[in-house]
Amino acid sequence: MKILANDGISLGGKILLEKEGFEVLTTFVAQDQLANYINENKVEVLLVRSATKVRQDLIDATQLKIIGRGGVGMDNIDVEYAESKGILVINTPAASSASVAEMVMAHVYSLFRNLHASNRTMPLEGETKFKELKKAYGKAFELRGKTLGVVGFGRIGREVAKNAIGAGMKVIAYDRTYKEADVPVEFFDGQCIVFHFDIKSFEEVLAQSDILTLHIPAQDKYIIDTAEIEKMKDGAMIINTARGGVINEEALLEALDSGKLAGAGLDVFEDEPKPSVRLLMNEKLSLSPHLAGSTEEAQERIGIELAEQIAKFYKGEEVL
């Protein structure tokens, strides 16, 4: 039985699958050649991350039994259509939560301490303008006591809340599904403290947050546009590690240029893999190329979780 991990798979996941008797192919196949490759090699399972698209035409052109998405979002897969054809679609919603949450905090720290800017200029001017740079970037802030607003309080949003609580921040949250939530924060010595959250309205979170972080799936329209930015505090910041297209990037740039917003951290973009040059050049932005879930630990968990689900399917066991 052949499995194509077109966007890669962890060594642990590959080993587990091979122990179960599967042949795992890890050659990256270009999108326009994917159907032919799957058919010629009699591939039954296709594993992807965000790069490979699994649309209706690919589904119709192949005889796949399983489509697996390493990670949470499924917007690069026509899930309903695949399932209507009897194909099992699986993902790993919890495996990368901690990694994404840490990336959020990395962007927040970077913005609050001006690391996003100093990391750009120190290699160029650090030797000749050290004192000037020290003065320019010396106006910085602590996170302790600031309010983090979490939009989307599922697994990842709650992981972000844990990190922010550890930094001494106040956390508020909005979610369309939940009215309240209990978030356990576990410590290295076995202690655990449970924090209770009463879910606030979207408008309350916009108005009260010093930092707004987004953890929602792909949307049909912008969640953050000019009107929403106007409701935010002057000098607030936005972090997006969710999906490109949930923020109107033009409105964001206008708010940064006017001073309405002090900064933003972006891991995802509307036009991936070619983000707007205006975004890339803006000094108020902390930027990363869609890396939030990409840690060695997360990739290992993703690979193993996918492997376990595939093995269960071929053994006739229920896949949750």
- Give the helix ranges, DSSP H, for 20-96: 34-40, 56-61, 79-84
Q: Yes or no: say if 207 and 37 are a contact pair by the CB < 8 Å rule.
A: no
Q: What is the rounded distance in angstroms from the CA atom of residue 136 to the CA atom of residue 275?
A: 28
For 85-119, write each residue's pLDDT tens digit: 999 999 998 899 999 999 999 999 999 999 999 99
Residue 227, pLDDT > 80, answer yes
CATH number of 2-95+296-314: 3.40.50.720
Note the pLDDT of residue 316.
94
Note the pLDDT of residue 72.
84
Active site (annotated) includes residue 290: yes
For 9-55, write each residue's pLDDT tens digit: 999 999 999 999 999 999 999 999 999 999 999 999 999 998 899 99
For 251-265, write each residue's pLDDT tens digit: 999 999 999 999 999
Vertex 257: Cα angle to 253 and 259 (nearest 5): 115
Note the pLDDT of residue 73.
83
Where in the chain are all domains bearing CATH 3.40.50.720? 2-95+296-314, 97-287
Q: What is the largest CA-CA distance in the chain?
A: 67
Choose the catalytic residue: 49, 69, 290, 301: 290
Residue 213, SS3 per DSSP: strand
Note the pLDDT of residue 93.
87
Active site (annotated) includes residue 297: no
How much is the average pLDDT of 275-295? Answer: 96
Instruction: State phi, psi for 121 to the nearest 5 degrees.
Output: -95, -25
Note the pLDDT of residue 266.
98
Active site (annotated) includes residue 272: yes
For 157-199, write each residue's pLDDT tens digit: 999 999 999 999 999 999 999 999 999 999 999 999 999 999 9
Q: What is the rounded distance in angstroms from the CA atom of residue 121 to the CA atom of residue 135?
A: 13
How much is the average pLDDT of 293-313? Answer: 95
Residue 320, pLDDT > 80, answer no
C-alpha closest to that of 47 among 76, 8, 93, 5: 5
Q: Report pTM.
A: 0.90
Q: Is the dihedral of CA 308, 3, 79, 241 positive or negative?
A: positive
Strand partners, 265: 239, 286
C-alpha closest to that of 293 among 161, 101, 26: 101
Q: Yes or no: say if 143 and 170 are a contact pair by the CB < 8 Å rule.
A: no
Looking at this protein, which amino acid is placed at residue 267?
Answer: D
CATH number of 97-287: 3.40.50.720
Q: Give the model's confidence band at 319: pLDDT under 50 very low, under 70 low, under 90 confident, else very high.
A: confident
Choose the catalytic residue: 125, 254, 272, 308: 272
Note the pLDDT of residue 235.
98
Q: What is the rounded distance in angstroms from the CA atom of residue 25 to the CA atom of residue 222?
A: 38
Note the pLDDT of residue 250.
98
Choose the catalytic residue: 243, 249, 301, 305: 243
Q: Mean pLDDT in the chain?
A: 96
Q: What is the rounded distance in angstroms from the CA atom of residue 270 to the CA atom of residue 252?
A: 12
